[in-house]
Every structure is written in C-alpha cells, then in structure tokens.
A and B are shown apart, each in its own frame.
Chain A
Amino acid sequence: MKIRRPKFNPITQKRWKRFKALKRSYCSFWLLIGLYAFSLLADVLFNEKPLYVRYEGESYLPLFFYYPDDVFTDSGLVTRPDYKAINASERFAEGSGNFMVFAPYPYGPNESITAAQIDVDETVDIVIRRQQLVGNLELDESLSIRRSVASAAMFGVESDRDLRGVEASEQFAVSPGFESAVKGRLANESVLPAFSEKVELASGIVVELALSPYEPRSRPPRTVRVTLREEVNVSKREVLRYVDHEGEGRIERSSTLWSKLNDETRNLIEEKANERMTRRIQPISLDIEGKSYEVDFEKEDVFFPFRPTENHWMGLDSSGRDVFSRLIHAMRISMNFGILLVAASMLLGIAAGAVQGYYGGKVDLLGQRSIEIWEALPFLYVMILLGSVFGQSFGLLLVVYALFSWIGISYYIRGEFLKLRKQPFVEAATCLGLPSRKIILRHILPNSMVPVITFFPFSLVSAIGALSALDYLGFGLPAPTPSWGEMFAQAQEFSYAWWLVLFPFLALFLVGLLGVFIGEGVRSAFDPRANTHYES
C-alpha cells in the first residue's frame, strides 16, 4: 500500500520555512509541545497511586481501575485503599512476590500529606539568652530601702531581705535629680514627673532606675517605688545544637556558657531538648554566676504550607498537597483550557465578524451596538451568577469565557471582510450566482485567516493568564482542581510561603514566554510584507 504524504500548498510550505528560520520561535514551538505532552502524562508521572500492584499472584492497575480497600487488606471496607500504607504494611511485605510500582514522583495533586510524613532535621537549637533582671525598690524619705522585690541578684546579695534598711547611697551614686524626684513624690509635688537614669550599682551591674510617672494623690505617699532594669544586650545569644544520633541525643558545639554549667543543669537541658523532639515546651530559666539566663528550645515544626524539602521539591501548600505535582497537573488543565477557549472564541468571533463584515450596513451597525453592550457586561459577575446557579465547573467556565472573549477576533475578521467584499474576485463570484454562504466560506474566509492564525499563540497565552487570574480571585475552576492562580490565592493568605508564589510565577512566565516567541515567529512567517521588497 502506498502512503501518500500530505502536500501543503506552496505558500504554506514557504511560511513553515520562514518560521523554521527563526530559531528562537522554532525551538519554543517544540519546547511548548514537549511541555504540554509532559503535562498530559502527569497522571502517570505524578501520582500517589501505584502504577502497578502485584498482590498474591494477581496484577492490579490502580491508575485505571478502582479497587476497594478490602481487596488488599481483607478489612471488609469498600473505601479507597491507602496504597502507600499497604505497601509499608508487614502483611504486604511478607507475601512473596508482592510489590508495587509507584510513579516517579509519588505524590498526587490532591493527596494531603500529613505533618508526620515530612522529614525535617531532628535537631533542636538550644538558644541561651541573657535575661534582663527587673526588680523594685521602695524608698522612704531618708532614701533608704524599705522593701525590695526581685532585686537581690542585681545588688549581689543573697535575698531581698538583706537589702532592708540599706541606704541607697551605699549602693549607687545618688544624683541630685534622683533625690529631688523622690523627695518631690513624697511631698506629693510634681517634680520631674517622668524620671529615669542609668547608674552603676556597687555590684558592677548597670541598671536603669525609673520612677513611675507622677500622679497627684489625696495624701502624700510614705514610700516611692523605683523600678530597676538591668542593661542587657538582648540580641547576644549562644546557640547549642542538640542532634539525634540513632535514638541517642547529644549536644554539639561546646561554648563558654556550657562549660560553666554543672552536670545537673546540663542533664536538665539535655532532657528538655530531648522532650522538645516530640512536643513544644516552655523555655526554662537558669542562673549562671548570679546572672539570669533564659533557655529556649527551638525546632522546626511542620506547619502547612511547608517549605520545599528533599522529597517535595517545591514545597507543600496550605492543605499539605505537593506543589510540584499540582504545578504539573495545573499545566495540563491550563493548556487544555487555553486551547479549547481560543478555538471556541475563534469560531464565535469568525462567525460574528464574517456576518457583520459581509452584509455590512444595518446588520453591521446593529451588530456593533450589541457587541458594545455585550463587551461592557461584567464578565466576573456573570461568571459568579452562573457558577452559583449551576455550580462552578470546567465546562461552564469555558462556555462563559468563550462567550465573552470572541469580540477581539470578530473586529479583525469584520475589518478583513469589509475590505475583501468589494474586491473583484468576490464580485465575480457574486455575478456567477454563488450563494452567500459559499462566498463567505470558500472565497473570503481563507483570505482573511491571517490575523486569526497570527493571534493564536498570543490568545493562548492571555487565556492561560486569565484563567490563573480568575482562579486567584476565586471564581475559576472548582476547589480541589490544581491551578497556578489558586496557589497565588493561598500565598495571599500565607504571605511567608514564597514557594507558592515563585514556582507558579515561573510556570506562567515560561509558558507565556514560549507562547510569545512562537507568536513572534508565526507573525513574521505570515507577514505579507515578507514577500515584497523595497530598497532602503
């Protein structure tokens, strides 16, 4: 049998040649086709279900058929089996010849991964910070201490009681301002109403002394409260690391502070760090050489959305779904949507433009006015209205969007038809008595297709962009559908999750760029001026 290769007409061949000559466009064309093909295989490459299961001598294809849980576990359940759990179960492993073949990237677009399934470093950072000492003194008119609260450590004495009766001037240099402020308050007079100053205590610690703001009282007070705040560089901290080594933890990296601790305290810290491995705990306080320290135990906890990890290359979204898997599946859906949408809106646009352009006159005027109204209708609103009546779906979005996006193309077709209908070849066809339908379809349309074709790549890009914008606003495809726009919507809420912005952005950018390069090549291939020459 002889297979006849299709022969394109010479102009088409020439155009293809010109398109090929533009390397950038030609490469983009095949790259985009390749990416699309790759995304069409997403179900096989990115899926939580195994591609093939061999169980007790029988073969199963979970990707294509549904098997109840009962088949693999004898549990009697008819629900969807958790293949990963079955694969890990002893019962499955024990049976000889049982095995599962998983997809190369074994995470599905709608599979929610639990926090426990994510590997994070089993290390606890032990952060030791100096803690600011804060205490109170109550002074009487002779500036001696009547009462002390939590101030003993600052003065270097055993307990607050030891400070009772001590004169302030013994402990620090009393400034005239301080004295007059205290005396003023004792006399119930507004002297230096907001007072604070830094002094060095006899113990060598620098503190800030502060008096509470002056407020008039009915009777003069007998004592004045002074707040002492230790000057501490809070940003200075020491970090030790507690690492889990095969079930046994140990502290890495010794430090000056660590060496000052006694065994008992060290054991306590290790115990706490070990506890932190499994649950969150409160920080503890320590006294080292009379100074107070706070010890905090920091460990990375798994919250969703979670950053990229070794297994999940692009991180996880707010429901614990794998972003990479969703990205590829979303590509397939976006491309399908874009291609169908552009095709549908082109059909509509060509039909409307052709009728208007060919008949002209009243048809044209009426058509233009209706289009003007139609164009101004709030597309988003119509989408929500129909979505809430019929439920959001791929088909509905496609239909509604197509009904609103044919207008641009119709303008061009209309223009071409208005121009061409006065051409001699059309008049000749009319004189020959050809019906309008034939003249439109056979004679004018093929001559006015150039703008349609050159627009295709650009329209595709803008359709994909528009879908992601709709999804971003929440009026696109229904909820669990993987979509780039929906990732942006999540990032709006979880603004720290850069992986929910960067990766869909790159995907949109890549598809957009390829589309634009292709469009540029198509345009130059179809450029009528390329056939004419002028000297310059």
Chain B
Amino acid sequence: MSDRAAYFLRRILLIFPTFIGITFLTYLLTQFVPGGPVEQAMMQMRGFDGSGVATRSESISEEQREAIRAHFGFDKPFLIRYYDWLVVNKMGMTVDSYKYSNKTVWQLISERFPVSLTFGIAGFVLTYLICIPLGIAKALRNGSAFDLASSVAVFTGYAIPAFAFGMLLKTVFSGTSEHFFDIFPIGGFRSEFFEEMSFWEKVKDQFMHMFLPVMCYVIGNFAVLTLLMKNSLLEQISQDYVRTVVAKGGSMKRAVWKHALRNALIPIATGFGGVLSIMFAGSVLIERVFNIPGMGLLSLEAIVGRDYMVFMGTLALTSIVALLGRVLSDFCYVLIDPRISFNKG
C-alpha cells in the first residue's frame, strides 16, 4: 500500500472516533436541557399546551412520572441510552419525532434534505460560475479600472452578512411593503399548487422561489472565492515557470491559460469538501429568512422545540458529511497536486 493510500485510510478510520465523540457529547448535553420531552408530556397532562409556564408538578404522581420517563426511555442508564440511539435505532433514525409523532426522524429528514440540496447546488454552481471568471479577469487586469470597480462588489459581499442581505431583498422585492416592488414570492420552496402546474409553469415557479435565496447563498461566498481565485492566479503568474514559457517564445496568453491557470485552481478545488456540508445542511439563517423547509430550518425547529431525536439525527448526518468533506478536500488537493505529501517530514 502506498503511503498516500495508507494516509487516507487512516483519515477515514479516524472519522469514527471523531463522530462518536461529537454525538456522545451532544447526546450528553441533551440530557440536561430543561423543557425536554418528559417535562413537556407532564405539562400536557396538567393541561398546559406547552406554552404555559409551570414549574411545580405536585399534581402528577410518582408512578405517572416514571411511566412517562420509561416511555421516552429515560429510565435506563445514560450509556445504554446512547448505545440504543447509535446502534439499535441506527442513529435515532427509526425513532418517532417527539413533535410530529406520526413521523420517524428519517422520514422528516428525507423530506427536508432534497430542499436544502436544491438550493445548495444552485448556489454552489452559480457562485463558481461567477467567481472563477471574475477572479481570473481581475487577476489579468490587476490594478485596472475594471479591477477597482469590481472590488466594490467584492467588499460589499464581504461586509454584508448573507441573512441581512436576504432580509433586504425580501423587503424590497417580495411586495411586503407598499413602497417597493412585488416581483418574487415571499418565501417557501414552491407554490401550493405546484403539482397541478404545467412544466413551464413549474420551472418558472421554482425559479421565482429560488432566485432571492440563491442570491444570498452566492453573496455569502462571493468575496472569499473571487479574491482566492484572483490572488492564486496572480501568485502563479509571478512564478518562474510562467516567465520561462514566455522566454521560450510562448505567448503570455498561452502561459496563463495553459500553465498558470491549472495551478491556480488548486486552492479553489480544495473548497469542494466544505461545500458538501453546506449543500447538505443548508443554511439555518437563509432558510429562516425565506421560510424554506430545509435541513437548516428543521434543526432550528428541533432545537427550539426540544425535539431531541430529530435534532440528534440532523446533527449526526451533517457531521458525517462534514467529516467526509474534510477528507475529500485533502484528497482533491493530492489529486491535483501530486507533490503534496502528508507524511511527517
């Protein structure tokens, strides 16, 4: 086995202890949060709908309390509960949600995750389609009027938090305020009658719903990616090998497009791993702004509603994706640049 293969095997095997560490700690934390399912169930028994605040619980007998605890599995020792969650219930996926009691965690997640994926992929493709050409153009015209003018956009992208930008877009373009425009729907994934629409109506409806949120996804990564591309290409252009190409009679065009660009793309490609987790996990903030029923909103709702199992499920899946993404990043790195060695030197 080559050194590199051994390295990646080790990296992949290391995912397991890390994953167990993350979920164990979080599962431990869930045990201490007040207002969990046992307390909510007791409140309901005493006639509160969950919004009422009551801290005394004399009216519930000890046996009833124990019954509720047993129902949610809280009567077992912690380690056994964690083991049950991880192995018996397959990371809690087969358990019912506390809030949507007719749905298992996996059902909820598999409903939501395609939504996040749709937005994630659209945002990712658009970001790279804009940023890479723009970064190249900025590098080739470094210091020109075009470079300075487009920098304004870059700085703006850097200075604005994506969710605040989303709030502004929503206010200006969704017709919520009579002073502005009414072009896009106020939020959501699709229209209510999406199923009954013709093909082109569906395309249009999906586009209208996705336009503003995708803009937010783009602005979130726009500045970093454009500058990364620009600086990376600038650095490559100033390298000796580019000068050699020109010295040997090759045109500058050839030197840039055939030689420098390939190397300049290395740092960009390594971002793929991080993108993976954004695609899967969605963005809590953007999904909240536009009320998009994706993974981000699901985990936020689960946190707020103390729906542990759903929350643990989203956490487990997103951390697996994130950990894999990190290994993938390094893998891309090696794939593009075979010189890189991860062995101790």
Which A residues form the contact surface with B (CB < 8 A)? 369-370, 372-373, 376-378, 380-382, 384-385, 388-389, 461, 465, 468-469, 472-473, 488, 491-492, 495-498, 501-502, 504-505, 508-509, 511-513, 515-517, 520, 534, 536
Contacts and interface: CB of A to CB of B under 8 A. Distances in A.
B26 to A, nearest CB: 6
B159 A513 contact: yes
B159 A373 contact: no
12 contacts: A377-B26, A381-B29, A384-B33, A465-B161, A492-B167, A497-B177, A498-B172, A509-B164, A512-B159, A512-B161, A513-B159, A520-B155
Nearest to A385: B33
Contact of A504 (B35, B158, B164): B164
Contacts of A509: 156, 159-160, 164
Contacts of A473: 284-285, 288, 300
A498 B179 contact: yes
B130 interface: no
A contacts with B: majority SS: helix
Q: Kindly list the 6 A-B residue pairs having the minimum CB-CB distance in the complex, ordered from nearest.
A: A512-B159, A495-B176, A465-B161, A373-B21, A513-B159, A498-B177
Contacts of A468: 161, 164
A211 to B, nearest CB: 29
Contacts of B14: 369
Contacts of A501: 167-168, 170-171
Interface of B: 14, 17-18, 21-22, 25-26, 29, 32-35, 155-156, 158-161, 163-165, 167-168, 170-172, 174, 176-180, 186, 238, 284-285, 288-289, 299-300, 303-304, 311, 315, 319, 322-323
Contacts, number: 118
Nearest to B322: A376
Given A373-B25, A473-B284, A491-B171, A496 B176 contact: yes
Contacts of A385: 29, 32-33
Contact of B167 (A370, A465, A491, A520): A491
Contact of A377 (B22, B284, B288): B22
B310 to A, nearest CB: 12
Nearest to A519: B158
Given A385-B32, A534-B238, A495 B186 contact: yes
B284 to A, nearest CB: 7
Contacts of A497: 177
B164 A508 contact: yes
B177 to A, nearest CB: 4
A377 B23 CA distance: 8
Contacts of B172: 498
B49 to A, nearest CB: 19
Given A472-B285, A513-B156, A534-B238, A369 B168 contact: no
A389 B32 contact: yes
B156 A388 contact: no
B86 to A, nearest CB: 15
